[in-house]
Amino acid sequence: MGALTGALLDAGCGTGEHTILAARLGARALGVDISTVAIETARRKATERGVEARFRVFDALQLDTLDEIFDTVVDSGLFHVFDDTARDRYIAAVHAVLRPGGHFHLMCFSDHQPGDWGPRRITENELRAALANGWRIESLTRDTFDINPGLGSPSAEAWLAYAVRLEPS
């Protein structure tokens, strides 16, 4: 699978754990999130840990306006927050900032999760449809998110997808 190397974008980075990890592994990492508080926390954590990572308050639906191209995009828990229309815009924006042959790692809540708490559940078919044009899905497997144990369960059912951006036709 695609390594977390080169120019890496962590879309919806929250408080920056994945961005910081990628930077520690040698990636030129940029984390973006719409939350100012999350980005301030991410910057503080990177500084405290002595890690060179960049963070920006930024709307993931506007990634195509970043004026940067990435080798890898990581999404751990963002895709499932969008409705159908916004999800299509988001995938198009990710496609626009990822170089041909670049790696897209995505983890989202799955429809296999029982109950109705938490974010929208995504079906395998929805995920495949979102990555149908301009992508090659290398793997799509069931996985779990580690979540806040205060919610009654330490994990939640998830999809873990790895896709490669195709060359333009």
Residue 128 included in any domain: yes
Compute and round to an integer the Cα radius of gyration of the chain: 15
Domains identified in the chain, total number:
1
Residue 156 included in any domain: yes
pTM of the model: 0.91
Residue ranges making up the domain that contains 104: 7-165
What is the Cα 17 distance to its own chain's centre? 12
- Mean pLDDT computed over 56-70: 97
Residue 2 included in any domain: no
Residue 1 included in any domain: no
With tokens 């990634």, the residue in question is 63
Q: In what order do the strands lie in the sheet with 70-76?
A: 54-57, 28-33, 7-11, 70-76, 98-109, 155-165, 135-146
Question: pLDDT per residue over 100-118, tens digit each?
Answer: 999 999 988 877 666 676 6
Residue 17 included in any domain: yes
Here the CATH number for the domain that contains residue 103 is 3.40.50.150
pLDDT bin (cut points 50, 70, 90) of residue 5 is: confident
